[in-house]
Amino acid sequence: MAESKYGRLIVTDTKPLPVELTGKMQERLKKVKSTMKSTRLLWLDDEMVKGSSFYIEYVWHWSGTTQGSPEMVHVHDFDEIVGFIGTVPDDPHALGAEIEIWLGGEKHILTKSCLIFIPAGLTHAPIVFRRIDTPILGFTIGKTSMYGRASEEKD
């Protein structure tokens, strides 16, 4: 059977994290006493689909909490959008969770489904999942073909 002309544009899986990054994330999760249950669902970038001019990742956050953040304060040299969508059937705007996110050194508490625009150069994180009552879909979209950080604070 001949290969489809445009089938390569449909992504149904995630890109594996590099082994060294997986180890770092596991160590950070232990430090912040995470009970989070999450599933990385989808990832798209120029490695997954040649010619992509942006990256995107989707993650289901099923339950749990963190007593700190596995994410270090960091900066990108591209604009980014972070989103959290709740699954509360009777109130589609409710997040069904409480998330603490830091933007430029300011703490914000999220309780509604939201999109967060993070301009290039703005420090952001940590992100602390205080509680998850119903599953939430989290995602990031970056105006770049490959995800990367311009800088990151050290432990």
**Alpha carbon distance 86, 132 (integer Å):** 10
Question: Cα separation of 87 and 82, whole Å?
Answer: 17
Place of tokens 């709740």: 86
* Region 45-69 average pLDDT: 91
Is residue 155 pLDDT above 70, yes or no? no
80: which 2 tokens?
A: 């980014």
Q: What is the pLDDT of residues 109-146, one digit of tens each?
A: 999 999 999 999 999 998 999 999 999 999 999 999 98
Is the confidence at residue 154, as pLDDT, over 60?
A: no
Written as six digits, the tokens of 135 are: 């599953």
Strands 55-63 and 94-103: unpaired
Torsion of CA 123, 129, 132, 136, to 10 degrees: 30
Residue 22, pLDDT > 90, answer: no
Mean pLDDT calculated for residue range 2-23: 81
Give CATH for domain 18-152. 2.60.120.10
pTM of the model: 0.87
Q: What is the pLDDT of residue 123?
A: 95
Domain ranges of the chain: 18-152
Residue 10 neighbours by CB under 8 Å, 6+ apart: none
